[in-house]
Structure formats: structure tokens, C-alpha cells
Structure 1
Amino acid sequence: MLSSSEGKKVPQVTFPIRRDNEWTSVTSDELFNGQTVIVFALPGAFTPTCSSTHLPRYNELAPVFKELGVDRVICLSVNDPFVMQAWAEDQHADNIEFIPDGNGDFSREMGMLVSKSAIGFGDRSWRYSMLVKDGTIEKMFIEPDRPGDPFEVSDADTMLNYIKPDATLPARVTVFTKPGCPHCTRAKSLLQSKGYKYEEIKLGSGGLSYSTLQAVTGKGTTPQVFIDGQLVGGADELEALMAKR
């Protein structure tokens, strides 16, 4: 049975890491002492739920957490430092600190090291998140102990709701673009000037085509801008909307 460690100190562990292409190490004291830290632990780098949902949303909400007094947001996984470094680069998750628990020492001491040998993973971390203040675990959200890889409570929104239920969420912006499109550049520049972070989906990459654009937006021109799931339109429509804000 996976049990909570709320009220306890985090395990004292030294993590071997790679920094600037050199081996170094970081200790639990360096990561947690005198700081407010969010840790979200997951089974493995490059795995589907971790890459598509768990990590990206923490990266997206990290600026909100920091405004609320969180000093660092850590992604922890039982992977070696090279894998974690490659995953960080692949995900462009600049707001997250990646900590490889390669030997599983931290996860073991937390009581969160589980066997995934049935799928060839060996020992891995169970999926959970926690809020740590000055080295003491204040709150943990542990996924239910059942087969598979449940993902119900360790997400970034649940953590944010615990810290500040009425927090203002950043707008979720998506921009469909194509190479060489001046109106796309205009739309992106406007979003940047207004402080909006956005996801850019480029036609011509990853098999995306005008058919994709038509299917998703119902339009045949770029850019097409979505804010919080609502289609705004092109650069002119975006300028009109921003003029009202």
C-alpha cells in the first residue's frame, strides 16, 4: 500500500546529474532547504502520459506557481541523467528542473518505488506530486494503487487548486502558422507583446497540411488563433480582440 509522507522530512539523497556536459551532484538539502518546492514524480521520460500531459501542464503553470511563492518545480523520475537531459531538451520545458533518481534511492525512501518489470521497466517511481516547505512534506497527491498507470490527482491543476483555489489561470493559446507567412509573424508578435505564451503548430511539419488546418479550424488561411479553445481567427481578428483588452 502506498502511504503518504505528509509531515515528514524528504529523504536525504545525493543525486548524480549532468550540468554543462559535466558530472556533478545535488543533494536534498540543496534542493529543498529554505525553499518551497513542488515535486511531481512519474514512471519514465518519453512515456505517453508523462510527455503529453503531466509534464507540459506543470511547465505551463510553473510561472503561476512561482507567483504564489513556489521557488522551484521539480520533475523526478527513475531514469539516468542522460535520458532526463534529452527529455528536457525534447520537451522545451524551461520552467521545470529535471532530477534523475537513477538508482531509485529517493523514490525508495519515499516508499514510492514500485516494480514495473511486467512491462520491462524494472523498478520505477509511482506517479505522485508533493508540496515541500523547507524540507518538510506538507501535502502529497498519490495516484490510486491499482494496476496500470492511473493519472487522476498528481496533475498540476490539482496542486494549484490546493495552493490557491481561486488562482487565475493563464490563457491557453494555439496558433496555426506556415513558413514565410507575414501575418503569422504579426500575430505572434502581438501575442508576445501582450505577454501571452502560445503553442505554435506549423503546417508542413510532422505531416500537418492545409487539410489539417481545414479540419481543425474550418479555415484555409494562416494564421488561425485559438484562445482557451475558442477560434479567434487571423491576425486582423486577433488585433481587434487585443484592442479591447
Structure 2
Amino acid sequence: MFQNREGQAVPQVSFPVREGNDWKTLTADQLFKGKTVIVFALPGAFTPTCSSTHLPRYNELAPVFKANGVDDIICLSVNDTFVMNAWAEDQKAEKITFLPDGNGDFSEGMGLLVDKNDLGFGKRSWRYSMLVKDGIIDQMFIEPDLPGDPFEVSDADTMLNYINPNAEQPKRVTMITKPGCGHCTRAKNALKVRGYKFEEIELGTNGVSYSTLTAISGQGTTPQIFIDGEHVGGADELESWLGANA
């Protein structure tokens, strides 16, 4: 079993990072002193669960965490700074601080540096999350010591439920569009003006066809908008929904 370090200080290590063409060193004090910080650590940049679920959800909930007193959210992995910078750009996770624990010093200090030689990874961080207040670990969610890469408790929703179980979460908006669609542009602009983030699925990409559109929405026109899994309809129906939920 991994040791829970709640009530203890974070390891006092430094992190060499690359910003543009310059090297910079970040210290633990710079990252944590006088701040409330979430850290979520994972086995590796660009790996499936990390890229599809763990990181995106923390980025999605970042404004909610900020509204509930969190100053920064750090994604930590035993990768070098160039890999972490490339991953940050690929993920477009602008609300997250990507921290390269390249030598594994921080992960080792946390007692969570593990051997992933069977995957050709070498030494990597075990998956976990923690809430740090002024450099002291307030709460930890460590994945169970099971084979593989369990992902059960270090997710963003578990952390948010600990911080504020009644926090209002952002709506999940998905829009199916097609190129050159004026009503799609109108719908996207309506969402942007009101501060809604949305996922856009464009017909003709990744195997998404008109048959897909009809099967999912029962309609043959674009856009078709879904909010929190519920089918709202097209641009006109969206504007009515936005008016009713202003």
C-alpha cells in the first residue's frame, strides 16, 4: 500500500522547465507557498487515460475549482519539459500548469515513484491527486495498488466533491455541424456570447455522416445541439433554451 501523506509538507524539490527558448527553475515554494493548489499526477504524457479523461476533465472544471478557492491546478508526470510542453499544446489545456518531474524527484519524495519497466516506461509516478494548502497536503486520493493503471479516485469530480459537493458544474454542450452552415455559425456565436464551452462534431470527419446525425438526433439538418446529454434541437431551439436558462 502507498503511504498517505496528509498533514505533511510537499517535497522540497526544484523543477527545470523550458519556456520558449529559455530554461527556468521552479521551486516547491514558488508553486505552493501561500496558495491552494490541486496536483494530479499520472504515468505519462500522451497516454490514453491521461489524455482522454484525467487531464481534460480537470481542465473543464478549472473555472469551478477557481470559484471554490483553488489558485492553480498542476498536472505532474515523470516526463521531460519538452514532452510536457508538447502535450500541453496538443491538449489545449490552457487552464492547467504542466509540471515535468523529469528525474522523478518529487514523485520519489511522495513515495509514489513506481517501476513501469514492463511497459518500457522505466520509473514513473503512480496515479493520484491531492489538495495542497500553503505547501501542506490537505487531502490525497491515491489510486488502489492494483495491477495495470487503475483510475477510480484521482479524477476531477472526486476532488470537486471533496472541496464542495454542491458546486455548480458547467453544462456539457455538444454540437453536430457541417461546413458552410450559417445556422451552425449562429448557434456557435450564441453559445460563445453566453460563455458556454462546446464540443463540435463536424459531418464528414472521423466517420460521422448524415446517417449518424439522423440516428442520434432524429433530424437531418444542422446544427443539432445536445446539452448534458439532452437533445435541444437546432439554432432556433438553442436560442429559446438559452433565453429560458439565462
Deviates more, 1:141-150 or 1:194-203: 194-203
Amino acid at match of 1:181: C
Residue of structure 1 equivalent to 2:101? 101
Change (3 A) 1:216 1:18: farther
In the alignment, the residues of structure 2 paired with residue 121 and residue 212 of structure 1 have an alpha-carbon distance, to the nearest angstrom, of: 39
In the alignment, the residues of structure 2 paired with residue 229 and residue 2 of structure 1 have an alpha-carbon distance, to the nearest angstrom, of: 37
In the alignment, the residues of structure 1 paired with residue 192 and residue 243 of structure 2 have an alpha-carbon distance, to the nearest angstrom, of: 14
Residue of structure 1 equivalent to 2:34? 34
SS at match of 2:159: helix
Amino acid at match of 1:62: A
The alignment covers a number of residue pairs equal to 245
- Match runs of 1:12-23 below 5 Å: 12-23=12-23
Residue 111 of structure 1: how far off its partner (Å): 0.4
Residue of structure 2 equivalent to 1:111? 111
SS at match of 2:225: strand
Deviates more, 1:64-73 or 1:17-26: 17-26
In the alignment, the residues of structure 1 paired with residue 32 and residue 111 of structure 2 have an alpha-carbon distance, to the nearest angstrom, of: 19
TM-score normalised over the length of structure 1: 0.97
Gaps of 5+ in 2: none
> Are residues 1:240 and 2:240 paired?
yes
> Are residues 1:58 and 2:75 paired?
no
Deviates more, 1:26-35 or 1:209-218: 209-218
In the alignment, the residues of structure 1 paired with residue 227 and residue 218 of structure 2 have an alpha-carbon distance, to the nearest angstrom, of: 16
SS at match of 2:242: helix
Amino acid at match of 2:42: L
In the alignment, the residues of structure 1 paired with residue 102 and residue 212 of structure 2 have an alpha-carbon distance, to the nearest angstrom, of: 40
Residue of structure 2 equivalent to 1:175? 175
Amino acid at match of 2:106: F
Instruction: Give me the CA root mean square deviation.
Output: 1.1
In the alignment, the residues of structure 1 paired with residue 16 and residue 204 of structure 2 have an alpha-carbon distance, to the nearest angstrom, of: 40
TM-score normalised over the length of structure 2: 0.96
Residue 20 of structure 1: how far off its partner (Å): 1.9
In the alignment, the residues of structure 2 paired with residue 238 and residue 113 of structure 1 have an alpha-carbon distance, to the nearest angstrom, of: 48
- Cα shift readout 1:130-158 (whole Å, capped 9, x = no counterpart): 00000000000000001011000000000
Residue 193 of structure 1: how far off its partner (Å): 1.5
Residue of structure 1 equivalent to 2:125? 125
Amino acid at match of 2:232: V
- Cα shift readout 1:24-63 (whole Å, capped 9, x = no counterpart): 1211110000000000000011111111110010000010
- Cα shift readout 1:208-230 (whole Å, capped 9, x = no counterpart): 33233233333222111110011
